[in-house]
Amino acid sequence: MRTIQGPAIFLAQFMGDTAPFNSLETICTWAADLGYTGVQIPTWDSRLIDLPTAAESKTYCDDLRGRVEACGVQITELSTHLQGQLVAVHPAYDGMFDAFAPEALHGKPQARTEWAVQTLKQAAKASAHLGLKAHVTFSGALIWHTVYPWPQRPKGLVEAAFKELASRWTPILDAFDAAGVDLCYEIHPGEDLHDGVTFERFLAATGNHPRCHILYDPSHFVLQQLDYLQYLDFYHERIKMFHVKDAEFRPNGRSGVYGGYQNWADRPGRFRSLGDGQVDFKSIFSKLAQYDFDGWAVLEWECCIKDAAQGAREGAPFIRDHIITVTEKAFDDFAGGATDDALLKRIIGG
């Protein structure tokens, strides 16, 4: 067994216009001072990384890695959540997702998708130049608007949608394969890949692509009322990344899983800072250790109640205290003795 790495922190929710959150060096130093040893970098923020340059220049990536490590942390992975979303957008969502693309592409869905695909391929090369093993993104969605089937879905719709989704992603997966990097989809409501069954559909549609993997985030499963511990039993071989995020689900007589279009603070299901929700992290870290997960435990802070600074401050010790240093010997080794073939035969009556 191998020991999980961490604690690390995803920087997306912390970047801002004031120090220390407005530059690479200052936010990395801030993270290190809080006790984090790694940072996950969102590639859409040019203050953190120039992705096109990183894709073309290993020299640039060596310098970037050195700047980060000089602050006391290392780069764990890159993220293209926003760009990956744009690989597959149903027209009903065009207006809302335009903000994820450069302004010149607003109102141009085909050009926007082409840009997203190119950006993901750049991320594959940049990850390789940085010496990273995994990358995280969103799948996008073509049929999320049919998730609750009324009227009933036409026969063949789901199969057609996943065939199209796979056709868009397979060239990207091939680019990651060429770069030697695993592409991990964050399994997330709003994406066509939002639970185990949908991941299986997509994986099959890609021909069981060797680079098609999962970012595990139990908070999204709490809100769906999915068994997030058994999920690890089913999919541990495909889980290559881990977001440590808490959540709670408290249904009532007025609202349940769908949330009643309410603000996050009023929804029965809501994300919480680490330790404030219902996720059984002791069992999760135990299972990940059992299944030999050696990736990073990365805080993703999303809470509608607690301040981000407090959540980040509490997150590092929370993760550190949950990481299991795996044993290198069996607990009952003291009672064992020397063995040989003759002894084994005698024991079994041979």
Sign of CA dihedral 113, 118, 124, 127: negative
| Average pLDDT of the residues in 90-118 | 97
What is the C-alpha separation between 297 and 285, in angstroms, rounded?
9
What's the DSSP call for residue 329?
S
Domain of residue 30, CATH code: 3.20.20.150
Residue 235 pLDDT: 98
What is the C-alpha separation between 27 and 14, in angstroms, rounded?
8
Q: Are 135 and 169 in contact (CB under 8 A)?
A: no
Residue 342 pLDDT: 87
Of the candidates 200, 205, 199, 209, the residue with the CA atom closest to the CA atom of residue 163: 205
| Average pLDDT of the residues in 56-79 | 98
Residue 112 pLDDT: 98
* Reported confidence tier of residue 347, pLDDT bands at 50, 70, 90: confident
Say which residues have a Cβ less than 8 Å from residue 58's Cβ, sequence separation at least 6: 129
As a residue count, the chain comes to 350
The tokens of 257 are what?
A: 């899983």
| Average pLDDT of the residues in 2-20 | 97
Q: What percent of the chain has pLDDT over 90?
A: 92
Residue 181 above 80 pLDDT?
yes
Residue 329 pLDDT: 73
Domain that holds residue 40: 5-347
Q: The pTM is what?
A: 0.95
| Average pLDDT of the residues in 108-124 | 98
Quick check: helix, strand or coil at residue 47? coil
Count how many domains the chain has.
1
Residue 1 pLDDT: 72
Picking from 1-5, 77-81, 186-190, 244-248, which range would have the lowest pLDDT averaged per residue? 1-5
Q: Are 45 and 17 in contact (CB under 8 A)?
A: no
Residue 221 above 70 pLDDT?
yes
Q: CA triplet 320, 324, 327: central angle to 5 degrees? A: 145
CA distances from 207 to 163, 164, 198, 203, 338 (A): 11, 13, 14, 7, 48
Residue 338 above 80 pLDDT?
no
